[in-house]
Structure 1
């Protein structure tokens, strides 16, 4: 049967596939829209199987917050060319929207959700692999809930952060954005020292002790020196103890207290492609 331009356009709207791919799918399906969509999805499965071992180190990260909740997503692709494509950016944001509308907080939950009336998010990803011709990997998704949540998207969308705060208000929002940028720049490993695992602490102490002995320090002082180096590790790697980037005379904790007494960060997320 003859395939009309309107049929091709309709399939393209539904799948994002190219004009020629849509026409071929409709020809194979004798004009049946559902079968054509299934044809494109199977094509995506074939491409996914072929490119399964490929590296997907490029991609996009988006964070979005409103009031007391925020979400952040990372979708990887193979090339920077695809990552910069407007259609791919819209696709990533559409998956983020699905996660927001359903309030999920993990990749596994998100993949199981309905993307539309016909496909789950996971199935839509496979379909898009066929459309784009590259491996796609929905590698991370997270949610932060707090009294106030602030999102920061670094230019280029290869890095984004979410900050949860225990208070709200205009000044709190502004302070939250500054701390969100701090997290982006300084990459803390935990909120405070209580968030550092005992294994990491034990390792840092052992490394510090070994270094002290190698430097010729007396063995009886090695433990004390190692503890001092551990405290430096906490100061440099835990968010509330870090020197505030905009005024390194203050820690982040002191900066927040200067904005409003008792103001603090309750949670944060940082996704990066590098």
Structure 2
């Protein structure tokens, strides 16, 4: 497989490793970016897999809540400029209220719901496109229904969180939603991590051990690997993370303090998972000027 500059760039952005290390890893693994990423982690050259943090599309996430029900709605547009447009913001905010009041369970159902002016969500979207001159899409709807102590939070219109807490206070639920927005836990507890993920992390921890450590008895090696694995799982699990509103305690300790338990959470980031075309404006201007 041809090792292109774009492939090297993607691996470099994901791993944080140097360009030459990335190219070498790709060559050694025949262009398989996942295998190359794993190799960089095992050899200690990778800082972190940043793929999940890359936001590709523009738009906004809005929320609405009422008692035991809460929703998040993601509406996408083409540019950040339109994402801040008054008409776009009004549509997004009203859409969240419509999603809450209509009881829609998914985007398809939401599109047929009625806005305040009597038009359907889809009709209002078409009208908005005519106003802003960009493609607008209602992409995702997250619903928390029949919750107990529901927390919702949207950070800067870019990150939205819903969290369902058993017990505790509204302030705790809100704080947990803010925490999830900031720290992006992948799992609720360390025990929720999939077995294949745990096995892979053990393999990587073993590969990163020094020759001196590898010479130690097997039981000592196992304790070292388990310690590293437990630290990793704590960092990516909600209950194991340090609570952002009080870093002297973990989220688990904050929950125990109020006799509470997190039942579930959802987190949306604008544009996650969408590949975004990067425009070369300099080249475009030169082309229009007849210079290329």
> Structure 1 residues 149, 214: CA separation in 2 closer, same or farther (over 3 Å shift)?
farther
Deviates more, 1:239-248 or 1:111-120: 111-120
Per the alignment, residue 176 of structure 1 pairs with: 173
Q: Which residue in 2 is equivalent to 1:110?
A: 110
What is aligned with 1:204? 201
1:89 aligns with 2:89: yes
What are the equivalent positions in structure 2 for 1:64-79 lying under 5 Å apart? 64-79=64-79
Determine if the alignment matches structure 1 residue 153 to structure 2 residue 150.
Answer: no
Of residues 194-203 and 95-104 in structure 1, the stretch that sits farther from structure 2 once superposed is: 194-203
In 2, Cα distance between the equivalents of 1:214 and 1:118? 71
Q: Which residue of 2 aligns with 1:228?
A: 227
Shift of 1:222: 4.7
The CA distance in 1 between the partners of 2:209 and 2:184, in whole Å, is 27
Q: In the alignment, which residue of structure 2 is the partner of 1:46?
A: none
Distance in 1, matches of 2:133 and 2:264, equals 37
Task: Say whether residues 1:272 and 2:273 are aligned partners.
Answer: no
| Secondary structure of 2:73 counterpart | strand
Number of residue equivalences: 214
TM-aligned CA distance change 1:247 to 1:133, over 3 Å: same
Distance 1:60 1:191 in 2: 25
SS in 2 for 1:212: coil
Cα distance in 1 for partners of 2:163, 2:248 equals 22
CA distance in structure 1 between the partners assigned to 2:212 and 2:67 by the alignment: 52
C-alpha change, 1:189 and 1:56, in structure 2 (3 Å) is closer
Please list the CA deviations of residues 47-96 of structure 1 after superposition, one character each: whole Å capped at 9, or x if unmatched. xxxxxxxx971111112222211111111111121111121111012222
Task: Give the direction of change, closer, same or farther, for the CA distance of 1:227–1:56 in structure 2 (3 Å limit).
Answer: closer
- Larger Rg belongs to: 1
CA contact (8 A) 1:78 1:134 kept: yes
TM-score (ref. length: structure 2): 0.64
Which residue number in structure 1 is paired with residue 247 of structure 2?
Answer: 248
Task: Tell me the secondary structure at the aligned position of residue 214 of structure 2.
Answer: coil
Distance 1:192 1:93, change over 3 A: same
Alpha-carbon contact 1:72-1:143 (below 8 Å) kept: yes
User: Structure 1 residues 208 and 215, CA, compared in 2 at 3 Å: closer, same or farther?
Assistant: farther
Alignment of 1:4-23 (within 5 A): none
Give a deviation string over 1:156-213, Cα, whole Å, max 9, x none: 3222222211126xxx011111111111111111211243223322222222222226
Q: Compared with structure 1, are the counterparts of its residues 167 and 222 closer, same or farther at alpha carbon in structure 2 (3 Å cutoff)? A: same
Deviation at 1:153, TM superposition (A): 2.4
Match of 1:17? Answer: none
SS in 1 for 2:186: coil
In structure 2, runs of 5+ residues without a counterpart are: 1-54, 273-292
1:193 to 2:190 alignment = yes
Structure 2 vs 1, CA of residues 209 and 135 (structure 1 numbering), >3 Å: closer, same or farther?
A: farther
Q: Does the Cα contact within 8 Å between 1:61 and 1:158 map onto a contact in 2? A: yes
- The 2-side partners of 1:126 and 1:203 are apart by 47
1:132 and 1:215 map into 2 onto residues whose CA distance is 63
Q: 1:136 maps to which residue?
A: 136
